A and B are shown apart, each in its own frame.
Chain A
Amino acid sequence: MHDRGLRLLLLASVFTIATCGLIYELIAGTIASYLLGDSVLQFSTVIGVYLFAMGIGSWLSRYVEKNLLGVFIQVEFLIALFGGSAAAGLFALFAYVSSFRVLLYAIVLIIGTLVGLEIPLLLRLLEGRLQFKDLISKVFTFDYIGALLASLLFPLVLVPYCGVARSGFLFGILNGVVGLIALWALWDQVPRARLLRLSGLAVLALLITGFAFSERIMTWSEAAAYGEDVIFAKSTPYQRITITRRDDDMRLYLNGNLQFSTRDEYRYHESLIHPGLSRLPHARHVLVLGGGDGLAVREILRYPQIENVTLVDLDPAMTRLFSTQEMLTVLNRGALTAPRVHVINGDAFAWLRANREVFDFIVADFPDPSNFSIGKLYSTAFYQRAKTALAENGAMVIQCTSPFVARKSFWCIDETLHACGLVTEPYHAYVPSFGEWGYILASPRPLSRDFELPGGLRFLDQGNLVSLFEFPPDMARVSTDINRLNNQALVRYFEIEWARYSRQ
């Protein structure tokens, strides 16, 4: 090949390499702020580490003495591999590694170092083919143009249309192609060219497969549906679990329904647990049905006298996520892996049917009764089963949807509990991301009026506890049917009430 052609080719590589290099940096920064929140901090630390790693790479380049070309091509393939799959890999591992930050910065270091090697190696390859002055100016011109292109391409085209994971694969592929073209053009000058070609093709095949199959978890369509950045999404046999983040607000959705927002979940969970449990100083054994996020358990573990908590949640993916993922275990304070806690993955109704144990406090934290299957978990049949698992001096608390939006639904649950011979104390609390929310305490015998709240609460105190039990006229009791398996009255009320509400 002519020298001129070769020069052009190498300069084109500079351009591509520069673009790719910046794209990887942007991807890492984006993922860090997506998954960890606080974008300013994440971006600047990722960029810092990346630049630092490039410095290491440049410095390391001096140790490359022989076979410059071969090393350069190898570096291209390695960048293609790591840079290209970093985004998808980080997403996939997010839920399963205990310290995500270590993984993130390790990957940033690797990519940065490799990218840092590229330009010095290239400069040395071009040395002697161009005048030094010319060389420097050309290389850096292309480097900066590439950077400009990348910084425009990334937010305007790539993220909206490809999603971050796919963009990664795409640029990895470009990197790999640069390596392969260089190999092809300089075939005679590279030792062990065949082996190199084989490894390059393997990397390329991997990236193309990744590109084709990567779930578009971060496309803007899903994020747009939530209006927040989706940082985790997974379809399990039972539901679709989605976690979103906007600044310091992280939210969990199940099948698109909000389960909690980190901004105010403490209000929901303190209200779920303490109005009941703080009145049961004798309580030792607690059962939580649903609530795989471990947040209710976190509140229960505030009571030192509780000896064991059994949590029954349908979805193993849910309890695994909330037992291992760092940010989530910080949120539930490691509740699901606490020694006092025993996690069972199973259907609550089926589990209760087989259960022979007796509990002092039972928490039924199920999704709202929006379909006939879930409606069964609010039926007389279910509460009868729960009642047999409840100590005579114990209590059960049920999350009961909004008494403001779904007034009949709320009081229908109360009526249903009465029909099972239980005494009830309905109450409600304001949870900004949900609205006015309802709970019902049900017990075989009336409960004491002495509340002994544990320390560290942010919402409830002795002063406001009592007011939760007061219902203003717009949420006051209405008469309803009893919810039975054979009439599913609750699901029917719920459907009408929420449909009316969401039309407004």
Chain B
Amino acid sequence: MKTRRDFLATTGAGAAALLAGCHRASATYPGSIVGASSAIGHRLRDGTFPTPSETIETKVVIVGGGISGLAVARRLDHHGMREFLLLELEHEAGGNAASGRNAVSAYPWGAHYVPLPNEESTEVLALFEELGLTRGRGTNGAPIFDEESLCSDPLERLFDAGRWQEGLLPQIGITDADRRQYEAFFTRMVQFRDRRGSDGRPAFTIPLDLSSRDPELLALDRITMAEWLRTQHFDSVPLLWHVDYCCRDDYGAGIAHVSAWAGVHYFASRRGRAANADPDAVVTWPEGNGWLAHQLAAPLRERLRGGYVVFNIEQNGEDVFVDAFDLARERSVRHRARGVVCAAPRFVAQRIVRGLSPTSGLEYSPWMVANITVDTLPGGNGAALAWDNVARASASLGYVVATHQDITLVPQQSVLTHYWPLDVVDPRDARQQAIARTHREWCDLIVADLVQIHPGIEEHIQNIDVWLWGHGMIRPVPGFIWGEERARMLPPHGAVVFAHSDMSGISIFEEAFTRGTHAADSLLPLLA
């Protein structure tokens, strides 16, 4: 619920940021607000599309070309089921793993890395091997990762009290008490990580549905992470900052919003290993997970149709009709299929699938992502430029350097991908505020945020493009992951099967990919 104080806090912060940006008062940067227009979203809600004027016959339609939809397509191909069409609203596939490219570099618009997959993430491990991201296993039994896809060192740095340090756990000026709490917290997390529930399953894992249903553990889903930390007497300010940062990074919302189960999951679900890297390594590319999306989309060719807004899915006897508006030709097309995988987010699915009862309690985190082209790499004292660069005092999550994986020497130009979860106010208000801002106003906010850590950077910015994710990712608020609503989202609706990371309650590559793969598996028997 939005309170008056929250409101004042955001407008105040916004005004301060605007003022801080004022010394180059009328700075305008080239660039624009890119990405799906909110107008399409509104049209979907109001249902103002023309009736279809032609019908296309096919076996299967996949709705949505995010990672989950692309995983469906790949799996169907593997099963030899090639008669399908994938309809995607954007011109290119990728969804939240979309990416862009300019003369300087490719860069992500959303998802930008995948941690080392758990052994339970069998589908993801198989994909990685197929794409050459891993090549067999090393002497320790763990996969050998392609070194050029592993994130190069240094991974992360944090700007705190006027200087940079390596890693994101604050180290500058911390007290012994802080240090003791760090130790206690991470010991707890390791215990959770190694724990098995009363049903013998790992306490926390990925895919999330393979986690234990031990009631003692599921109880964590009923309180917020902040409450859990409080009951466990964790009150170290730098520790709380770190945990909050991690939750905002993965869920677009901090410890006050997400459930303790989700919060602990972040720290305790990852048991992935590599033969040639530390367990905290990640794989990444200049275009982020856009690289994976491109790999998955490449074999689809003309079976992937971009620029199609699906606005109606309805069962018709044995068949399913999928009506889509072709943005290029401005007319609607009906697809008659035997089965459908709806890989669009749930808030869209329940609008377009006829007869599907809406899920209550769906909350989505809005995000702003900016890609900032700079003519010189940012510097800073204390620790060298890393892949992920975070400022402790900032409301944003900092920036990722798109050229970090570049193996060539001295590329001074770069693109910085700046991540900003809009979580200070209630998501709906944040969405409205975000849409209302002009490109110029966003630039002011972004530059004001960056000059705090890089004075003078405004002179080196050549372009700023902005993408607004109105419904960036599902928010694992208390009760959502292990409540009844999520359980109701899972089963198919007639011959319409669902696949989207929403159904996991946490939005990560492994969940999206596994959901897609399993959806394809459960669709095939329905077609027979």
A interface residues with partner B (beta carbon < 8 Å) = 237-239, 314, 347, 349-350, 353, 371-374, 376-377, 379-382, 384, 484-488
**Inter-subunit contact B152/A376 (CB<8 Å):** yes
Q: How far in angstroms is the closest Cβ of chain A from B398?
A: 19
**Inter-subunit contact B152/A380 (CB<8 Å):** no
- Residues from chain A with a CB closer than 8 A to the CB of B152 are 372, 376, 485-486, 488
* Interface presence of B150 (CB below 8 A): yes
Choose among A238, A314, A371, A372 the residue with the greatest number of B CB atoms under 10 Å from its CB.
Answer: A372
**Inter-subunit contact B407/A376 (CB<8 Å):** yes
- Residues from chain B with a CB closer than 8 A to the CB of A377 are 409
CA distance A342 to B194 in the complex (A): 58
- Residues from chain A with a CB closer than 8 A to the CB of B154 are 372, 488
Partner of A372, one of B147, B153, B276, B278: B153
- Residues from chain B with a CB closer than 8 A to the CB of A237 are 410, 412
Additional A-B contacts beyond A373-B410, A379-B147 (18; CB < 8 A) = A237-B410, A239-B410, A347-B409, A350-B408, A353-B407, A371-B384, A372-B152, A374-B409, A376-B407, A380-B276, A381-B147, A382-B407, A484-B147, A484-B150, A484-B277, A485-B407, A486-B276, A487-B153
**Inter-subunit contact B150/A485 (CB<8 Å):** yes
Q: How far in angstroms is the closest Cβ of chain A from B389?
A: 14
CA distance A486 to B113 in the complex (A): 14
- Residues from chain B with a CB closer than 8 A to the CB of A380 are 147, 276
- Residues from chain B with a CB closer than 8 A to the CB of A374 are 409
CA distance A482 to B276 in the complex (A): 9
Closest to A366 in B: B409
Closest to B153 in A: A488
Q: How far in angstroms is the closest Cβ of chain B from A487?
A: 5
- Residues from chain B with a CB closer than 8 A to the CB of A349 are 407-409
Q: List 21 A-B contacts (CB under 8 A).
A: A347-B407, A347-B409, A349-B408, A349-B409, A350-B407, A353-B407, A372-B153, A373-B410, A374-B409, A376-B152, A381-B147, A381-B148, A381-B407, A484-B147, A484-B276, A484-B277, A485-B407, A486-B147, A486-B150, A486-B278, A487-B153
Partner of A487, one of B278, B408, B410, B412: B278
Q: Which 5 A-B pairs have the closest CB atoms?
A: A347-B408, A488-B153, A381-B147, A486-B150, A349-B407
Q: How far in angstroms is the closest Cβ of chain B from A230?
A: 23
* Interface presence of B281 (CB below 8 A): yes
Q: Which of B383-434 contact A (CB under 8 A)?
A: 384, 407-410, 412
Q: How far in angstroms is the closest Cβ of chain B from A369?
A: 12
* Interface presence of B151 (CB below 8 A): yes
> What's the dominant secondary structure at chain B's contact region?
loop
B interface residues with partner A (beta carbon < 8 Å) = 147-148, 150-154, 276-278, 281, 384, 407-410, 412
CA distance A349 to B148 in the complex (A): 11
Closest to B147 in A: A381
CA distance A379 to B277 in the complex (A): 13
CA distance A335 to B150 in the complex (A): 39
Q: How far in angstroms is the closest Cβ of chain A from B332?
A: 46
Choose among B148, B277, B278, B407 the residue with the greatest number of A CB atoms under 10 Å from its CB.
Answer: B407
**Inter-subunit contact A486/B408 (CB<8 Å):** no
Closest to A237 in B: B410
Q: How far in angstroms is the closest Cβ of chain A from B8?
A: 44
CA distance A317 to B54 in the complex (A): 63
- Residues from chain B with a CB closer than 8 A to the CB of A487 are 153, 277-278
Q: How far in angstroms is the closest Cβ of chain B from A480?
A: 15
Closest to A239 in B: B410
Choose among A314, A381, A382 the residue with the greatest number of B CB atoms under 10 Å from its CB.
Answer: A381
Choose among A237, A484, A488 the residue with the greatest number of B CB atoms under 10 Å from its CB.
Answer: A484
Asked if A486 meets B409 with Cβ closer than 8 Å, knowing A380-B147, A380-B276, the reply is no
CA distance A402 to B113 in the complex (A): 38
Choose among B151, B278, B410 the residue with the greatest number of A CB atoms under 10 Å from its CB.
Answer: B410
- Residues from chain A with a CB closer than 8 A to the CB of B148 are 381, 485
CA distance A239 to B409 in the complex (A): 11
CA distance A407 to B150 in the complex (A): 28
CA distance A127 to B101 in the complex (A): 78
- Residues from chain B with a CB closer than 8 A to the CB of A347 are 407-409
Partner of A373, one of B147, B150, B277, B409: B409
CA distance A373 to B384 in the complex (A): 11
Choose among B153, B154, B277, B384 the residue with the greatest number of A CB atoms under 10 Å from its CB.
Answer: B153
- Residues from chain A with a CB closer than 8 A to the CB of B281 are 486
CA distance A486 to B384 in the complex (A): 15
CA distance A371 to B384 in the complex (A): 9
CA distance A433 to B410 in the complex (A): 27
Q: How far in angstroms is the closest Cβ of chain B from A341?
A: 22
CA distance A493 to B410 in the complex (A): 21
- Residues from chain A with a CB closer than 8 A to the CB of B412 are 237
- Residues from chain A with a CB closer than 8 A to the CB of B151 are 486
Partner of B277, one of A238, A382, A384, A486: A486
CA distance A41 to B90 in the complex (A): 75
CA distance A166 to B281 in the complex (A): 55
- Residues from chain A with a CB closer than 8 A to the CB of B276 are 380, 484, 486
CA distance A238 to B277 in the complex (A): 31
Closest to B412 in A: A237
Q: How far in angstroms is the closest Cβ of chain A from B291?
A: 16
CA distance A377 to B150 in the complex (A): 16
Q: How far in angstroms is the closest Cβ of chain A from B286?
A: 13
Asked if A485 meets B409 with Cβ closer than 8 Å, knowing A379-B147, A381-B147, the reply is no
Q: How far in angstroms is the closest Cβ of chain A from B285?
A: 13
Q: How far in angstroms is the closest Cβ of chain A from B401?
A: 11
CA distance A249 to B154 in the complex (A): 40
- Residues from chain A with a CB closer than 8 A to the CB of B408 are 347, 349-350
Closest to A491 in B: B153
- Residues from chain B with a CB closer than 8 A to the CB of A372 are 152-154, 384
Q: How far in angstroms is the closest Cβ of chain B from A374?
A: 7
CA distance A381 to B146 in the complex (A): 8
- Residues from chain A with a CB closer than 8 A to the CB of B153 are 372, 484-488
CA distance A449 to B345 in the complex (A): 67
CA distance A347 to B409 in the complex (A): 7
CA distance A353 to B384 in the complex (A): 26
- Residues from chain B with a CB closer than 8 A to the CB of A382 are 407
Q: How far in angstroms is the closest Cβ of chain B from A388?
A: 13
Q: How far in angstroms is the closest Cβ of chain A from B374?
A: 16
- Residues from chain B with a CB closer than 8 A to the CB of A371 are 384
Q: How far in angstroms is the closest Cβ of chain A from B167?
A: 14
CA distance A486 to B387 in the complex (A): 11
Q: How far in angstroms is the closest Cβ of chain A from B279?
A: 12
Closest to B151 in A: A486
- Residues from chain B with a CB closer than 8 A to the CB of A376 are 152, 407
Partner of B410, one of A238, A350, A484, A488: A238
Closest to A384 in B: B147
Q: How far in angstroms is the closest Cβ of chain B from A351?
A: 9
Closest to B408 in A: A347
Closest to A314 in B: B409
CA distance A373 to B377 in the complex (A): 13
